[in-house]
Amino acid sequence: GAVVSQHPSWVICKSGTSVKIECRSLDFQATTMFWYRQFPKQSLMLMATSNEGSKATYEQGVEKDKFLINHASLTLSTLTVTSAHPEDSSFYICSARLSGADTQYFGPGTRLTVL
Please give the residue ranges that form the binding site for other proteins (CB under 8 A): 32, 34, 42-44, 46, 49, 93, 97, 102-109
Q: How far is the CB of 41 from other proteins (least distance, A)?
A: 10
Whose Cβ is closer to other proteins: residue 1's or residue 14's?
1
The CB density around residue 37, as the number of other CB atoms within 10 Å, is: 20
Whose Cβ is closer to other proteins: residue 42's or residue 113's?
42
Q: How far is the CB of 16 from other proteins (least distance, A)?
A: 27
- 35: Cβ–Cβ under 8 A, 6 or more apart, which residues? 23, 46, 47, 48, 50, 67, 69, 77, 79, 92, 93, 94
CA distances from 84 to 12, 13, 30, 89, 101 (A): 11, 8, 28, 8, 34
Q: How far is the CB of 108 from other proteins (least distance, A)?
A: 5
Whose Cβ is closer to other proteins: residue 14's or residue 60's?
60
